[in-house]
Structure 1
Amino acid sequence: MNRSPELLKAKSCYGHLGGTLGNRLFARLLELGWFERDGDKATVFSLTELGKQELSKLNVDIYKRS
């Protein structure tokens, strides 16, 4: 399998992770059930209780402001 570094680039967009890597990471977090779609809204997602627990295990402070 070709693992070109070009395919895994990430970029910052208004302080948020974007690019191919950002999209893959978010897709995986959805698969794991850490985030879920907020109702019928196509671009709005909520952090689940499982997501809060798992991010806490990774020492991610979800309440800290940048």
Structure 2
Amino acid sequence: MKAAEDKIAKLCYEHIGGKLGNLLLEQFVAKGWLAKHHATDKNYYITQKGTLEFTKLGIDLSLIPS
């Protein structure tokens, strides 16, 4: 039985989806870790600051395919 305070972290294929995924994306953009070249672009890129900060968190960015 789930506790009322439990929140769902939805897995969508190999990605975090749902509200948690949206909140993470919003924060990564706000902190300057992720950005778009143009506002209309669908995809984001990892900024230099993002590379530094994700690495500090122990995330191996070399595992992301080019």
Q: Do both proteins adopt the same fold according to a TM-score greater than 0.5, normalized to the shorter chain?
A: yes
Give the TM-score taking structure 2 as reference length: 0.77
Over 3 Å counting, the alpha-carbon distance change for 1:58 and 1:21 in structure 2 is: same
Which structure 2 segments of 5+ residues have no match? none
Runs of 4+ in 1 over 6 A off after TM superposition: none
* Counterpart in the other structure of 1:49: 48
Over 3 Å counting, the alpha-carbon distance change for 1:38 and 1:14 in structure 2 is: farther
More strand by share: 1
Between the aligned residues of both structures, percent identity stands at 31
- Structure 2 counterpart of 1:63, one-letter code: S
Aligned length: 61
Give the TM-score taking structure 1 as reference length: 0.77
Which structure 1 segments of 5+ residues have no match? none
Aligned-residue Cα RMSD (Å) equals 1.9
